[in-house]
Amino acid sequence: MTSPDLGRVAVLMGGWSAEREVSLSSGQQVLDALLSKGVDAFAVDVERDQLCDALLGKCDRVFNILHGTWGEDGRVQGLLDVLDIPYTGTGVHGCALTMDKNLTKAVCEQHAIVTPAWKIVSDLESCSAAAKKIGSECGYPVVIKPVREGSSVGVSIARENQIEESYLKAAEYGDVMVEQFIGGSEITAAIINGSAMPLIKISTPREFYDYEAKYHQDSTVYDCPCGLSAEVEKEIQNTALKVFEITHCKAWGRVDFLLDEAGKHYLLEVNTAPGMTDHSLVPMAAAATGLSFPELVYTILSTTVESQ
């Protein structure tokens, strides 16, 4: 089998979201991996009004590793479609859907995918009412978080006396959601080119798997193999593939779940451009199958040829 002709590749990183620093770290490691594989790749980290000039006529395809808003919400994907530049990952429709946690949960619930109870709120008063309702039905604490952010930015685990400060923290990033808190473990399923990788079980001594635990703490434990039975692991992998399909995702990404103490799994969210740092989960899952980081990056980039 011959290698695809990838041409000149722009690695799109950095961006304008709250996840800029993570994106820069991911982007640099992706760039290094591509260069190590002999790919003619270069970094692109520019202001929005310079993006067309930085790409048009200067590359044959894009490895998009922008995280969060702009990078994962369909807007950059729409621009690249207009410019007719192939790019890694999910297209406009899937990105717009999965970046919105409310829409993701609503669509998946219609397909019998179990997700924690939730309510969209518009102000502090409605947040307090939603927290009271979910807290009375499901128990405290509750989760208060932005509807359209990733990497646990703006997320709080809130007790009854912490609703106001948690709402104000989340509201800095736009619309806010109150969600049922699921105690137990976080499980993640990486998906690469239509296949679900081995699951990873995440444990942290912190209150939850927050931004610090994801990117700055060495105390976070990642178990792969995940320790679940083969039957349960397969069930979660199948759920992840179903979620990926019904949310119109493609090529690569990650589907995150919460596993309660009774062993029931709940959909948490979908990531269409997951982190690719030394703390990141997709490279870890791929490594469990024998796929090195450079090989993983090259495989993801190669899907831009297959989808043309």
pLDDT digits (tens, 9 = 90+) for 33-65: 999 999 999 999 988 889 999 999 999 999 999
Residue 143 in contact with residue 134, Cβ under 8 Å?
no
Is there a catalytic annotation at residue 19? yes
The total number of residues written for the chain in this structure: 308
Q: What is the mean pLDDT of residues 279-284?
A: 92
Residue 133 has pLDDT above 60, yes or no: yes
> What DSSP character marks residue 87?
B
Work out the average pLDDT over 8-22: 92
Side-chain-facing half-sphere of 75: CA atoms under 13 Å? 14
H/E segment holding residue 266: strand 265-271
Mean pLDDT confidence for 209-238: 80
Write down which residue in 180, 211, 230 finishes a domain: 180
Q: Do 104 and 238 belong to one domain?
A: yes
pLDDT at 305 over 70: yes
Task: Tell me how many domains the chain contains.
Answer: 3
Are 82 and 108 in the same domain?
A: no
Q: Which residues pair with 306 in a beta bridge?
A: none
* Residue 161 bears catalytic tag: no
State the CATH number of the domain containing residue 167: 3.30.1490.20
pLDDT digits (tens, 9 = 90+) for 138-184: 999 999 999 988 767 889 999 999 999 999 999 999 999 999 999 88
pLDDT at residue 215 is higher than 60: no
Co-location of 142 and 279 in the same domain = no
Q: 19, 100, 149, 210: which one is catalytic?
A: 19
Q: Note if the pTM is more than 0.85.
A: yes
Query: Is 254 known to be catalytic?
Result: yes
Domain hosting 64: range is: 8-89+300-306
Which of 256, 266, 280, 298 is an active site residue?
256
